[in-house]
Amino acid sequence: MPKRFQQILAQELDGPFAVPTDADVARIVRRFEAADVEDMLDELAAMSAERDEVEEWDGDTLDDIARAQAFVSRLLTAMPDHRAAVAARVEAADAVTSAYLRLILGEN
């Protein structure tokens, strides 16, 4: 069963390859709650773990994962009220997830 934030994205976007505008992102993030932010942070880490399992020759899959991580990061960046939840994950995260979290926080 998809998580709530994934259901919202499915309702708001025209497919997995949609390129949302800033207005779309602003509208979408207004629907998220604190639990959605936690789920998005979990998903960001899960995508890093998934990326680690992909063979180097499978560039398309690696690109898809990177695109999804960048999109989740964009959504989280648009929710400054939840920076504390993001910051709480930085130290325990793997290197790639930590880099995304630091971008969200504006540290890179």
pLDDT digits (tens, 9 = 90+) for 25-68: 999 999 999 999 999 999 999 999 999 999 989 999 999 999 99
Distances (CA, A) of 98 to 56, 62, 78, 85: 21, 18, 18, 13
Domain ranges in the chain are 4-8+20-104
pLDDT of 16 above 90: no
Q: Is 4 left (phi over 0), alpha (psi -120 to 50) or beta?
A: alpha
For residue 18, what pLDDT is reported? Answer: 84
For residue 41, what pLDDT is reported? Answer: 97
Over the chain, what is the mean pLDDT?
94
pLDDT of 108 above 80: no
For residue 17, what pLDDT is reported? Answer: 79
Amino acid symbol at 74: R
For residue 50, what pLDDT is reported? Answer: 94
For residue 19, what pLDDT is reported? Answer: 87
